[in-house]
Structure 1
Amino acid sequence: MRFWTGGYTADMEGAAAGIGTLLAGEAGDPLAGGPLRFGGDVVRVEGSPAWIAAHPVRDVLYAALEGAGAVQAFAQTGEARFVPLGAPVPVGDLACHVAVAPDGGSLIASCWGDGHVVHVTLDAAGAPSSAVTAVAATDPYGDASAGAAPLPALGAAAAALREAAGAEFAHLVPDHDRETAPTPDAGSAASSPGGEAAEPRVSRAHQAAYLPDGVVATTDMGLDLVRFWRAGSAGLRPLQEVVLPRGSGPRHLRRHPSGHLYVITELSHEVFVLAPDAAGSWTVVGGAPLSADVRPDDTAAELALSRDGGFLYGGIRGSNTIATLRVRGDGSILEPVALVEAGVDWPRYHVVARDTLLVAGERSNDVASLTLDERTGVPRGIRHRTEVPSPTCLLPAR
């Protein structure tokens, strides 16, 4: 099975030279459990192509050039060769993610540096053209809410989840239904011990995902928001915001076949469950910690679903582990199952390929494959490993 690899180039202190290719077994094999081999670069590009995505129909790849703050398209001209398709389109500071619309008519870039969420039009050939920046996010907690009580929706969801979990797992449910004493965090506007105001919180857009019926969801890990939009030819129209706990840091999200949306939080190491009501309004309906054994200084990264949707896998940087959570009931209940070694340093990204989990080690410059136990859902150890320069994304090739 073939994958395209994104990575950090020298401008962001990485070792990659552009977009590369990774083989897991034979290129045409539908399974990814065979030996791993890095096949070199398919196109050399500066600016750190940290995230890559494919056009739904055409043989075109799109890269979020994080270091350059731009989006670039590449057309495939051979089995493992691409060339630039048009010029890079500036979108914002530290563009870290790009999502392509199901109809191939547009894409959305998310920028960590300045919080920009940008709608970019694609022409008939798939080349990006005009870019429109969406309405900026504002801090839902304001300047004086470092010690705010838990939001009612989060409290109700936590209480319901604790009851459903029972005595054995109730202690793992986040305490969003319980009042706590004010504890200013590093990004709050509360006073520091020396009497000086801390730096204000800033927007950090991190991912976008196209949902059914033209709805788009985006995460803002700086302001603890999941924002919902209506995508159209003129750009993105705001629909709704869901506020997560202060300092949780929503990073990436996945849609379950049940329609639930799972959001992994980089800073609080949790997964929140969101669902729409009959009118299409989204609320938090559940959630769970990735594991009771996550270290306070860890940061969560990618979130992936098993092939049958019965398990979630969360990557954890620092302790370099993969957390497994079981999906229960109608998809709204999550149960932590296991925490295992990722096999790499700084697991920035991972992807499920049937019975195999491929994990990209950004700092160890390698990719490891782990066998997934289809009965328990838990990764069972390293199957293969190969050197890959500063990998940050793995995209299955068509």
Structure 2
Amino acid sequence: MTRFWVGGYGSDMDGDAEGISFLSVDEGRGPSTLTYRGTAAPAASPSWLAQHPTLDVVYAALEGAGEVQAFTRSGEGSLRPLGAALAAGESVCHLAVSPDGRMLVASCYGDGRVIGYGIAADGRLVESAPDKAAALRAALFGSGREDDDRDASTPQGDAERPSRAHSAVFLPDGRIATADLGLDLVRIRRRDLSVDHDVELPRGTGPRHMVLHPSGHLHVVTEYSCEVFTLASDREGRWGLVRATIASEIAQVGFDFPAELAMSRDGGTLYTALRGSNTIAALRVRGGGDVLEPLALADAGVDWPRHHLVYDGTLLVSGQRSSTVSVVDLDERTGAPRDVRRVTSAPTPTSILPAR
């Protein structure tokens, strides 16, 4: 039996989830057997889930409470808290774990903060001590230099255009890319989360989630302009914009709001979900990983597709407003989304994570 943990909104976020939910697929029968199995761990609005790279430990962003919590497996379909929940920022909505399993980065939509936590050997979260070197650099140089060391917990912004941190990706060189939906920035940060440099996107685009392509390019989906921006690094390690591609030729700006960006196993196709028209848009990746072309558009099978992932020749799509998860078939040859194979219940789902 293949298992999936499902994050969702609870009563503190106007949802029905009682915690982390549990879905399963019967071995040998495929995704058409996807079934809701109940609550795996009580928690308050665990809206985003992330997996430790080597341990059977799951991290949850408790969005309404503004906390992060580690959980460890306690049974075939159950989890238990691993250590105490730690304070994060307002509306913490995304978590990323470093490839070495020693650091977790939390992005907070409400106040724009990007917060780092240490991860102990057993997977529990540890509040990171302030980085003395970063503090010294900031004291000596301030924030006037191009490669300044701005405090990650003090985002730049104002009442008219507030900072809205929304996701993070660990880069191969150890730095971290973070997307700020409010300021239209992709920020390249050092390991201590001080800012190395910014990549500015056009105003009003709203960068939300990112995928690091095997070619080394970083693809960024924008919530407000329905585009995917492609970024690349030069020889000096400075990132810049390569090109922008519309997510779908019939996406309606102001009505459609892209959410997740997922990649096929071979890196040849990207998938984003359009909340509004409730569709899945596929883009073909060409060239050296820097050229994207709209490929296909299909029904997501849910209302308000918040998150999706590629699994066994299908997409599993979480429908926040319909309280369902759908299974969308992918064309074996082209990777294009096709028919909805199955829909199963799940309380206010907002993220799906394969169980280890």
Give 2:118's aligned residue: 121
The Cα shift of 1:374 comes to 2.2
Q: Find the aligned partners of 1:377 and 1:121 in 2 and give their Cα distance.
A: 38
Q: Normalising by structure 2, what TM-score? A: 0.90
Write out per-residue CA displacement over residues 62-107 of structure 1, whole angstroms, 9 at most, x where no aligned residue: 0000000010011212222211111111110000011111111110
Q: Find the aligned partners of 1:254 and 1:25 in 2 and give their Cα distance.
A: 29
Answer whether contact 1:32 1:356 (CA < 8 A) is retained.
no
* Alignment: residue pair count: 333
Give 1:60's aligned residue: 57
Q: How does 1:19-98 map to 2 (within 5 A)?
A: 19-26=20-27, 32-46=30-44, 48-98=45-95
The Cα shift of 1:23 comes to 1.1
Write out per-residue CA displacement over residues 194-231 of structure 1, whole angstroms, 9 at most, x where no aligned residue: xxxxx510000000111112111110000000001121
Change (3 A) 1:17 1:135: closer
1:104 corresponds to which of 101, 104, 115: 101
SS in 1 for 2:301: coil
Q: How does 1:1-398 map to 2 (within 5 A)?
A: 1-26=2-27, 32-46=30-44, 48-131=45-128, 134-139=152-157, 199-231=159-191, 235-296=192-253, 297-398=255-356
Give 2:148's aligned residue: none
Q: Find the aligned partners of 1:312 and 1:128 in 2 and give their Cα distance.
A: 32
Q: Which amino acid aligns with 1:379?
A: P
Ranges in structure 1 where 5+ consecutive residues have no aligned partner: 144-198
Q: Find the aligned partners of 2:241 and 2:205 in 1 and give their Cα distance.
A: 14
Q: Normalising by structure 1, what TM-score? A: 0.81
Q: Which amino acid aligns with 2:9?
A: Y
Q: Find the aligned partners of 1:32 and 1:281 in 2 and give their Cα distance.
A: 43
The Cα shift of 1:32 comes to 4.8
Answer whether contact 1:35 1:385 (CA < 8 A) is retained.
no
Single out whichever of 303-312 and 261-270 deviates more from structure 2: 303-312
SS in 1 for 2:156: coil
SS in 1 for 2:55: coil
Answer whether contact 1:287 1:333 (CA < 8 A) is retained.
no
SS in 1 for 2:12: helix
The Cα shift of 1:237 comes to 2.6
Write out per-residue CA displacement over residues 319-347 of structure 1, whole angstroms, 9 at most, x where no aligned residue: 10111111111111111122211110000
Determine what percentage of the aligned residue pairs are the same residue: 53
SS in 2 for 1:213: coil
Q: Which amino acid aligns with 1:387?
A: S
Give 1:162's aligned residue: none
Answer whether contact 1:73 1:128 (CA < 8 A) is retained.
yes
Q: Find the aligned partners of 2:170 and 2:57 in 1 and give their Cα distance.
A: 18
SS in 1 for 2:32: coil
Give 1:160's aligned residue: none
Q: Which amino acid aligns with 1:37?
A: T
Write out per-residue CA displacement over residues 35-77 of structure 1, whole angstroms, 9 at most, x where no aligned residue: 110111111112x100011111221110000000010011212
Single out whichever of 91-100 and 77-86 deviates more from structure 2: 77-86
SS in 2 for 1:248: coil
Answer whether contact 2:115 2:153 (CA < 8 A) is retained.
no
Q: Find the aligned partners of 2:195 and 2:39 in 1 and give their Cα distance.
A: 39
The Cα shift of 1:278 comes to 1.0
Q: Find the aligned partners of 2:224 and 2:30 in 1 and give their Cα distance.
A: 31
Change (3 A) 1:217 1:32: farther
Answer whether contact 1:32 1:353 (CA < 8 A) is retained.
no
The Cα shift of 1:354 comes to 3.2
SS in 2 for 1:324: strand
Answer whether contact 1:70 1:90 (CA < 8 A) is retained.
yes
The Cα shift of 1:135 comes to 4.9
Q: Find the aligned partners of 1:75 and 1:376 in 2 and give their Cα distance.
A: 38
Q: Which amino acid aligns with 1:138?
A: Q
Q: Find the aligned partners of 1:290 and 1:220 in 2 and give their Cα distance.
A: 19
Q: Find the aligned partners of 2:36 and 2:314 in 1 and give their Cα distance.
A: 17
Q: Find the aligned partners of 1:337 and 1:55 in 2 and give their Cα distance.
A: 33
Write out per-residue CA displacement over residues 285-325 of structure 1, whole angstroms, 9 at most, x where no aligned residue: 12200112112221110001112111111110011011111
